[in-house]
Chains A and B, each alone.
Chain A
Amino acid sequence: MRLESPTPDAPEADAPPEAPARTGDGKPVERVHQVVIRFAGDSGDGMQLTGDRFTAETATLGNALATLPNFPAEIRAPQGTLPGVSSFQLHFADHVVLTPGDAPDVLVAMNPAALRANIADLPRGGVIIADADEFTRRSLQKVGYTASPLEDGSLESYQVHSLPLTSMTVEALKDSGLSRKDAERAKNMFALGMLSWLYDRPTQATEKFIQTKFAKKPAVRDANLTAFRAGWAFGETTEGFAVRYEVAPAEHPAGTYRNITGSTALAYGLAAGAHKAGLPLVLGSYPITPASDILHALSAMKHLGVTTLQAEDEIAGVGIALGASFGGSLGVTTTSGPGLALKAETIGLAVMLELPLVVVDVQRGGPSTGLPTKTEQADLLQAMYGRNGESPLPVVAASSPTDCFTAAVEAVRIAVTYRTPVILLSDGYLANGSEPWALPSVADLPGIDPAFATGPNGAGDDGTPAFRPYLRDPETLARPWAVPGTPGLEHRIGGLEKADVTGEISYEPENHERMTGLRQAKVDGVAVPPLEVDDPVAPDGSRARVLVLGWGSTFGPIAAAVRDARAEGLQVARTHLRHLNPFPPGLGDLLRSYDRVVLPEMNGGQLALLLRGRYLVDVQSHARVRGRPFTAGELLDVVRDAVRDLTEPATQVAAPATDTGFESPQEARR
């Protein structure tokens, strides 16, 4: 989706039409606790925008919510085809929401391709709202329908609203002066207006949004406003919708809230972290999906002193960041998996130079180009080990869209305090997904001290004061950060092995081993808070035997699955890792204190491999790579099985510890 920059100074002369006064419509209102709605259409139909706007309306109403945009890598795949389908799922409720919803309750299908691509996800009895105008013979043929599913009875187990959305939009705009083709483009706003009525969403923000977005194109602005209002009015008057629904606001702790995507929150976190450290933020970045939104967000922060350089390639992006860090800025680079691979050598240099550097990896499906717009967690081992030599660095992972802020501040803190590159892991789901966020106060964030070196810290052979670039802080093992321009501290650093303390080139065997150990000890010693475990004691005093462990964006579905398992009376503990390197203190003992540790990951079992190697704990891996987040229902099954296995020991041979779930040809034949 492309948003044009807002232009608040719109010409007065072209004032938009006034919104009509709204009257009660008298239809019965049914109160529901939660709804999962999926907007699906062609990639050119504006489904991401429609979803964003419905989400914004829902957020301002105070519902709890989570979103899952899902779009193809092609900007405009051939119109009306299955590969061109773009969708946006929103889960909103009057209670805590942890995931975008396992399955939609309502599917808005703007064409046959959207119906065909999404119908399998809609449970029987679900609501389908389809644009009947688009179910032409040609459009049906494009996706392999021989007859219209709206008419052939194949959808009889669903509640189908077959509505002429396109022609109603065109009719509403017949006086607008727009061509039929241009008028048709506003059909997403008609649908949005209709659904806003159906779920009783506040519309002021969307009206304001349309006015701002199209301020420079009055005809387009007015057409969108008219279509939006016509959609609302249609909902109000049609007999097709007998009731409208109401989802009450959720109970949120007091505070000021906004809705935010992970990438925006992450960019804010980087800016806030740099601000708390008193450092200018310099971003070197090369565009890559799904990380580019962070580049865009930071590029718009020049007024806060943020500098962004769009580099010639991924390697230059991290090189620019490292050069800026050498000069006393906070160097940051943002990328996705393939870009992280390209940056590996420079990150290794940063390990050797022991300078602050934040590397953000928004993981996507791999290997190679893989699934550029889909989510995965398969860069963990690359982040941990994807460099030559022994080159440890701290790894931090965000667990939800809003947590991207906190995780980014933490990555800055570690990088600056310990003079080290830090890899911050996000993923495609976190990047594009959104949820309400209780705004933090920047003044309340803890300060970060860059503690620049200002004078000699040792003595030369002749006893005169001298600068020792690799003399370490005894507590953090961090070396001094002496930036060019500081008189008397001129020194040379580089990728060649350094002599301990002096930083001179050294090929001494013992020195290399000592320095390797020091670099490892520094990372191992990064202060990480102990893990919090959610393990309520049962009324009879018993405690859970199964621990569900996660990291990164699996937080939501794991928490939802554990909540549901407990509702069934199962006793299950849950914990989630933010720090992947170093691990939190006491993690091994914690894992060993449970009879079974279940670990869902969107990869082949990478964290499980690390934990087994490190702690000799037989972690049970649930590993899947389908390019989309786990559903709570799927993980509930995993939890149930784990509990059942413990209480009713299986008679058959134990299942392999890693359940990758990847179907091999051999398995397929069975």
Chain B
Amino acid sequence: MTTAPPTPVSLGLPAVRSGTEDVPRLPEGVTLKKKDFTAANEVRWCPGCGDYAVLAAVQGFLPELGLRKENIVCISGIGCSSRFPYYLDTYGLHSIHGRAPAIATGLATSRPDLSVWVVTGDGDALSIGGNHLIHAMRRNVNMTILLFNNRIYGLTKGQYSPTSEVGKVTKSTPSGSVDAPFNPVSLALGAEATFVARTLDSDRKHLTSVLRAAAEHRGTSLVEIYQNCPIFNDGAFDVLKDAEESRARLVHLVDGEQVRYGREDDRRVVVRTAGGGVEAVPEAEAAGRDVVVHDAGAEDPTQAFALSRLDGPSMAHVPVGVFRAVQRPTYDDLVREQVTSAREAAGGPATDADLDALIAGGDTWVVR
């Protein structure tokens, strides 16, 4: 007999919900402080590491969420950034290389009452853990992934990473790397991520605003954080941190507004090209061009993807902020919904008799 292909069933779409909606909140009037999220452990990153700034920003931001801290969990993989959970006084799990998104998927799906954070690096997330990262985003599991991108392997002492530029000379590439790098934002958009953002370790205010939006988002939020490794890749993002240079290069994406940036004497706008992409041109030359208005909530990720390609190895114009924030039912909500409705239809929690009925199946016979 030929079997007809299975037909999909409608799953129903839940209304727009916050990422922390099911997480127990602190009682009215009770607030936590940064020190409540500061673990006793001595922080052991290298002096000057960008990770310190991110840690301070996260510790400072978490009280804003108003959540009970026992309901916050931080899961990491392996690498310098993955020591993060040890310094955050919440529940934490420092797992193995690349696997944090998979472990977090199991936790987030089985525990809707937790705010789940994944901390990872460019090697951890994009190289050994690439598969788990793309599938977490595809599924849209409710978690926030902080991807610390320093474009180098730090903990193994300085090999090129999947975001290192072509030609990079490192211990493992003495003649220069021939590997083409990933653009993490492009990758995330290609993997159907519902929330994708980029920020910098050195801009506390911007970092915090992105974290806030990421935590609020229900689904997988990917936040790429440009982060400096002072030992093995020092100054990788210096052009974005110098006050003068950053004004010329950072393209702050603001939802609903035209994409403009640049110094006062060199204002630039981002316009569409004939090929469907975008390019940055001096404001004076933009007459008659189709100026891009950022729309983070667009269902179609094409424009967000084009913006993610604006950047190049020269970092001449680097978009930062929220590239995409759209609502799509989360995997964990749907999985729980199927289990919950099946249980309710069966009359509530399973009893011994329910298990007995399962075990007996359909065809039984009795021997007396």
Contacts and interface: CB of A to CB of B under 8 A. Distances in A.
B179 to A, nearest CB: 23
A348 B110 CA distance: 22
Contact of A484 (B94, B111, B365, B367): B111
Nearest to B111: A327
Given A282-B106, A315-B102, A484 B363 contact: no
Interface stretch (B85-93, B224-232, B239-247, B306-314): B85-93
Contact of A252 (B1, B91, B367): B367
Interface in A169-199: 185
A320 interface: yes
Contacts of A439: 356, 359-360, 364
A301 B358 contact: yes
B96 interface: yes
B114 A327 contact: yes
The interface residues of chain A, by DSSP majority, are classed as mixed
Interface string B17-55: 000000010000000000000010100000000000000
A260 B359 CA distance: 9
B3 interface: yes
Given A258-B361, A440-B359, A320 B102 contact: yes
A323 B102 contact: yes
B102 A316 contact: yes
Interface string A239-263: 0000000000000111111111000
B355 A346 contact: no
A405 B131 CA distance: 34
What class of interface size applies to chain B in its complex with A? 35 or more
A313 B129 CA distance: 11
Given A442-B355, A490-B91, A494-B94, A307 B367 contact: no
A584 B343 CA distance: 40
A326 B96 contact: no
B249 interface: no
A462 B254 CA distance: 50
A442 B353 CA distance: 8
Contacts of A316: 99, 102, 105, 131-132, 135
What class of interface size applies to chain A in its complex with B? 35 or more
Given A324-B106, A324-B107, A303 B343 contact: yes
Contacts of A446: none
A305 B350 contact: yes
Contacts of A253: 367
A504 B95 CA distance: 15
Contacts of B114: 327, 484-485
Contacts of A442: 352-353, 355-356, 359
A256 B109 contact: no
B286 interface: no
Contacts of A321: 106
Contacts of A60: 363, 365
Contacts of A304: 343, 346, 350, 354-355, 358
A10 to B, nearest CB: 16
Given A327-B114, A490-B69, A59 B365 contact: yes
Interface stretch (A267-275, A554-562, A621-629): A267-275
Interface string B290-309: 00000000000000000000
B75 interface: yes
B109 A309 contact: yes
A386 interface: no
Contacts of B345: 303
B212 interface: no
A311 B135 CA distance: 9
Given A258-B364, A282-B109, A484 B73 contact: yes
A17 B123 CA distance: 66
Contact of B363 (A2, A259, A323, A353): A259
Contact of A490 (B90, B107, B359): B90
A90 to B, nearest CB: 16
Interface of A: 2, 4, 56, 59-60, 62, 185, 205, 217, 220, 252-260, 268, 271-272, 275, 280, 282, 284, 301-307, 309, 311-313, 315-316, 319-329, 331, 345-346, 348-349, 353, 405, 438-443, 484-496, 504-505
Given A280-B110, A312-B102, A440-B359, 17 more contacts: A220-B1, A256-B364, A256-B367, A271-B358, A275-B355, A302-B338, A305-B339, A306-B339, A307-B339, A309-B109, A315-B99, A319-B99, A319-B102, A323-B93, A327-B110, A490-B92, A492-B91
